[in-house]
């Protein structure tokens, strides 16, 4: 909430500054006896391209169109002033808009268009003083061009740096999701191995019972009771669970190049019983971990659901240690309401931490959790608690 408020204030300040400088441009044009319709048209198109809210922006208004059209209008305005030897004003509003458009072009346009649109906006800004100063290569024009070149370099460099950060984060998110899918593949192996082992054991039992029945007289066989039926029912149930686990888990494995020897493939599979051990291991003299498990929570939930719940608790507790070392109490909750399992991890910390910045992690743990939870048809929420301080991670899984 606080970060959203800060972003809103920053955007409001930018809007106010651009509008104020644009009004100054129009006042300069009017006081100098120049027509205001041409600078007004350039400023109107430029401000619309910069300030149009992203949520309401139509699909056809691409970054390349937003940055190219205002820059082209500015160049045409300058060209008509030079060709017809008419003095035309330029002011801070148009220069600020062109710098904003240059930033958008370098950071958001597709790679090939970024160079074209950035060159167009930068060129429009550098030739703007030619409207007023005569001759074109006068000292005043060169001074303004030099200042403009410095501003263009600073803005383009900042935008390129932020674009590189965006790319690195995109790659890191993709790698995190791929690693989580590899972990899910390892879990699939464990699920199927668990069920198939049960099928094997019960099949051996059935064969032993059948061999024993053959070796005995018919009068004794008739007194054995239900016989093989419970064993066959157990085999059927284990096979059904194995197929269900495979169907649910294979559906989310979209990376066919998983390496079975990768580190993520060797991660152990947790379950609801392991959550209690995890909470006990996490507790320390400075922090108390309370496990609040509803008796209605069943131990017979699908293995992939239990493993995902374990991962949620594990990642949430890790984040508490990284980002909320000042928390006194951490509460781990397990609730089952009908066909949904709810897992919550809440702390009462205020954001203080004793760990160095290098130990805070890359910030992609929630990305992997989201991939795992949504893959099972669940939903994940992370944010401040209702009490106003502390943090809460809440996940809900379908149990069928």
Q: What is the pLDDT of residues 8-28, one digit of tens each?
A: 676 778 788 888 888 888 888
pLDDT per residue over 258-280, tens digit each?
444 443 333 345 678 888 887 88
pLDDT per residue over 73-103, tens digit each?
999 998 888 888 677 778 888 999 999 999 9
Band of residue 158 on the pLDDT scale cut at 50, 70, 90:
very high
Mean pLDDT calculated for residue range 118-124: 93
Sheet of 391-398, strand order: 288-293, 329-337, 340-347, 391-398, 379-384
Higher pLDDT, 193 or 126: 126
Residue 45, pLDDT above cutoff 80: yes
Q: Which residue has the tokens 């899918």?
A: 181
* pLDDT for res 67: 93
* pLDDT for res 254: 44
* pLDDT for res 221: 47
Q: Which residue has the tokens 């959790």?
A: 369
Cβ burial 233-253 (10 Å sphere, 16+ → b, else e): ebbeebeebbebbeebbeebe
Band of residue 155 on the pLDDT scale cut at 50, 70, 90:
very high
Band of residue 105 on the pLDDT scale cut at 50, 70, 90:
very high
Q: What percent of the chain has pLDDT over 90?
A: 19
Domain boundaries, the chain: 10-132, 183-263, 270-398
Higher pLDDT, 220 or 59: 59
Cβ burial 56-78 (10 Å sphere, 16+ → b, else e): eeeeeeebbebbbbbbbbbbebb
Q: What percent of the chain has pLDDT over 70?
A: 70
* pLDDT for res 119: 94
Taking a C-beta distance cutoff of 8 angstroms, is the pair 231, 205 a contact? yes
How many C-beta neighbours within 10 Å does residue 82 have? 14
Taking a C-beta distance cutoff of 8 angstroms, is the pair 199, 235 a contact? yes
Higher pLDDT, 391 or 285: 391
Residue 253, pLDDT above cutoff 60: no
* pLDDT for res 284: 58
Taking a C-beta distance cutoff of 8 angstroms, is the pair 264, 179 a contact? yes
E-assigned strand segments in the chain: 288-293, 329-337, 340-347, 379-384, 391-398
Joined together, the tokens standing for residue 38 give: 């041409």
Q: pTM to 2 decimals? A: 0.53
Query: How far apart are the C-alpha atoms of 94 and 29, rounded to whole Å?
Result: 12
Pick the range with the lowest mean pLDDT from 108-117, 127-136, 207-216, 343-352. Answer: 207-216
Residues 270-398, CATH architecture: 2-Layer Sandwich (3.30)
Higher pLDDT, 136 or 168: 168
Sign (positive/negative) of CA torsion 306, 308, 311, 312?
negative
Mean pLDDT of all residues belonging to the chain = 77
* pLDDT for res 216: 62
Residue 355, pLDDT above cutoff 60: no
Taking a C-beta distance cutoff of 8 angstroms, is the pair 373, 380 a contact? yes
* pLDDT for res 261: 41
C-alpha closest to that of 124 among 155, 145, 150, 154: 145
Residue 169, pLDDT above cutoff 70: yes
Helix/strand/coil for 382: strand
Residue 250, pLDDT above cutoff 70: no
């Amino acid at each position: 909430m606080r970060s959203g408020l800060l972003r809103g204030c920053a955007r409001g300040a930018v809007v106010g500054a651009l509008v104020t400088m644009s009004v100054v441009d129009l006042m300069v044009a009017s006081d100098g006896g120049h027509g205001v319709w041409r600078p007004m048209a350039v400023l109107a198109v430029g401000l619309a391209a910069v300030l149009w809210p992203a949520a309401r922006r139509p699909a056809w208004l691409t970054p390349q169109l937003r940055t190219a059209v205002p820059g082209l209008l500015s160049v045409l305005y300058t060209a008509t002033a030079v060709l017809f030897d008419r003095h035309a004003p330029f002011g801070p509003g148009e220069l600020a808009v062109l710098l904003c458009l240059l930033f958008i072009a370098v950071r958001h346009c597709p790679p090939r268009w970024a160079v074209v649109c950035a060159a167009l906006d930068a060129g429009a800004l550098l030739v703007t003083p030619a409207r007023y100063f005569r001759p074109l290569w006068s000292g005043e024009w060169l001074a303004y061009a030099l200042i403009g070149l410095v501003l263009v370099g600073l803005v383009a460099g900042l935008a390129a740096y932020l674009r590189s950060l965006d790319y690195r984060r995109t790659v890191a998110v993709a790698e995190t999701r791929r690693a989580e899918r590899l972990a899910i593949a390892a879990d699939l192996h464990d699920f199927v191995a668990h069920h198939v082992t049960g099928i094997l054991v019960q099949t051996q039992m059935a064969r032993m019972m059948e061999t024993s029945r053959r070796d005995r007289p018919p009068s004794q066989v008739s007194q054995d009771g239900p016989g093989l039926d419970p064993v066959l029912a157990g085999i059927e149930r284990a096979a059904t669970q194995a197929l269900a686990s495979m169907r649910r888990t294979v559906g989310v494995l979209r990376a066919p190049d998983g390496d079975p020897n990768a580190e993520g493939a060797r991660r152990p599979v947790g379950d609801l019983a392991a959550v209690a051990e995890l909470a006990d291991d996490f507790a320390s003299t400075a922090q108390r971990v309370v496990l609040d498990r509803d008796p209605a929570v069943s131990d017979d939930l699908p293995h992939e659901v239990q493993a995902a719940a374990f991962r949620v608790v594990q990642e949430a507790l890790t984040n508490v240690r990284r980002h909320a070392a000042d928390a006194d109490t951490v509460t781990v909750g397990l609730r089952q309401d009908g066909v949904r399992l709810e897992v919550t991890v809440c702390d009462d910390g205020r954001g203080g931490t004793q760990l160095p910045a290098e130990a805070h992690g890359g910030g992609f743990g929630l990305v992997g959790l989201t991939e795992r939870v949504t893959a099972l048809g669940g939903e994940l929420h992370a944010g401040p608690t209702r009490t106003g301080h502390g943090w809460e991670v809440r996940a809900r899984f379908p149990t069928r």
